[in-house]
Amino acid sequence: MDRQQKYERWLVAFVMLVLFLPLLQLVFGFFEAEEHEVEFGVEAPDFNLSNWFSGDFQRDKEQHLKHTVPFRMELVRLNNQLYYSLFNQGRSNSVVVGKQDELLLEKQIVSLQGQDYIGVDSISAQIEKLKYVEEKLAQRGIKLVVAIVPSKATYHSDLIPDWIKIAQKGRTNYSEYVEQLKVNDMAYFDAVPWLLEHKHQTTDRLFPKNGLHYTKYGQFILMDSLTRFLAHETSMPFPRMKLSSMQDASHLSDEEEDLENYLRLFTKIPDEPLRTPIFDVSSDGQTPKVLTIGDSYFMGMCNSNYCTTVFNGGQFWYYNREVRTQPGKIDGYVNQINVLEEVEKNDVVLIYISDANCYRFSFGFVDELYELYTNRREHRIKFYTKQIESDPEWLELVREKSISKGITLTEAIRIDAEYLYEMELKNGD
């Protein structure tokens, strides 16, 4: 056998080994690998005749194998790395590599172009509900404010690659919302034109090169301006924020490199240096409590402890789902609390979103509050019904009432719940 044939056989053997390596790993488990089933949340389906004949078993099993095959993530990273290194393209989670290698999100670019525009009728309907909720809150001494901040794609629109600008920019959800908020004389803080106007007046980055959300400095100038606006709009004594110095950041947080993490590469992308603001927060006494309903652009604020230091311990309802007040901690969930009761504990209710999220505006918060205020009686009766049913001793007392009166337990619970609501109205709660 000559040397060339030997090399060819070794090459064939190597290729076959690579092809069969996932199968060998699946059978023998030579290496410790990532648990992809946990990461993707794709569980192995249970077999039964019903899901076999419906085709559900085959479909779910295919998805399970797809996401749990050995070395899947390694191969995904390899594929992504090749596209990034050779073609300067992102191949994961809709990440776009822009000019000057700035990482952007495709969804935000789509929104900037107006391709996700939901229409004037949908926005008008939402504004109508928002106006009603604003009036109901005002009757209780609570101020409703909307804050809209620019997404990274909006702020760095000049860095969007030329090849992706394929659509003519039309009417956007952001522009329609701002116009209708203005026409309806509602309190809103529009940071988009202000930040774009002052974009070249600072040397510190408002967005990290490889991240989607604001830097610590970007968070500071937004919160400082927002509290000044709220103080002027509400005549309430909001805290004052004073910048004392800027300090070089020793490292970047995961939040400041989230787009790079989305890319799932083998190698690290070089970062641009960032600086962290050092500032003081002062007040003359009791400050207003602010409930914030917002998207991931307020998450950085919460993680910087602004809910405590600036908003007097006010809650942050992340996408109107999670309840947060402290950095990195979930206190509960919105669907598990008395929404009206929690809302009415605050001095200000703030809807805080990026312009790219205007297509889903308040994430259902306005719709829910509108429904609660227009059907408050039934909502409170349902609330008291749940209270009775969840308390064994209370429920037993009501059961005894139902027996003595000759009515069903459900009817007895309803009577007690209605009575409690009447007492609530009588006492002015």
| Three state DSSP letters for 190-241 | EHHHHHHHCHHHCCCCCCCCCCCCCCHHHHHHHHHHHHHHHHHHHCCCCCEE
CA 395 to CA 423: how far, in whole Å?
Answer: 19
Mean pLDDT of the chain: 88
Res. 367: pLDDT tops 80: yes
Instruction: Give me the residue label for tokens 């009686």.
Output: 377
At 59, list the tokens.
């479909």
pTM greater than the 0.85 cutoff = no
* Residue 308 contacts residue 326 (beta carbons within 8 Å): yes
Cα angle, residue 241 at apex, residues 154 and 226 outer, rounded to 5°: 40
- pLDDT for 196 equals 94
CA 72 to chain centre: 28
Beta-bridge mates of residue 242: 280
Beta-bridge mates of residue 332: 323
Higher-pLDDT residue of 6, 285: 285
Higher-pLDDT residue of 329, 61: 329
Res. 275: pLDDT tops 50: yes
Q: Once rounded to an integer, what is the mean pLDDT over residues 24-50? A: 64
- pLDDT for 37 equals 39
- pLDDT for 167 equals 59
- pLDDT for 35 equals 47
* Residue 89 contacts residue 83 (beta carbons within 8 Å): yes
Query: Which amino acid would we find at residue 171?
Result: R
Q: Point out the least confidently predicted range of 33-37, 278-282, 323-327.
A: 33-37
Can you tell me whether residue 3 is helix, strand or coil? helix
pLDDT tens readout for residues 300-347: 999 999 999 999 999 999 999 999 999 999 999 998 898 999 999 999
| Domain ranges within the chain, ordered by starting residue | 13-70, 95-374, 376-426
429 pLDDT band, cuts 50/70/90, is low
* Residue 295 contacts residue 353 (beta carbons within 8 Å): yes
- pLDDT for 34 equals 53
Res. 39: pLDDT tops 60: no
pLDDT tens readout for residues 140-186: 999 999 999 999 999 999 999 988 865 556 789 999 999 999 999 99
CA 145 to CA 138: how far, in whole Å?
Answer: 11
Strand ranges in 240-326 using DSSP code E only, listed in sequence order: 240-248, 275-282, 290-294, 316-318, 322-324
CA 417 to CA 98: how far, in whole Å?
Answer: 59
CA torsion sign for 69, 75, 77, 83 is: negative
CA end-to-end distance (rounded Å), the chain: 95
CA 381 to CA 53: how far, in whole Å?
Answer: 45
Can you tell me whether residue 314 is helix, strand or coil? coil
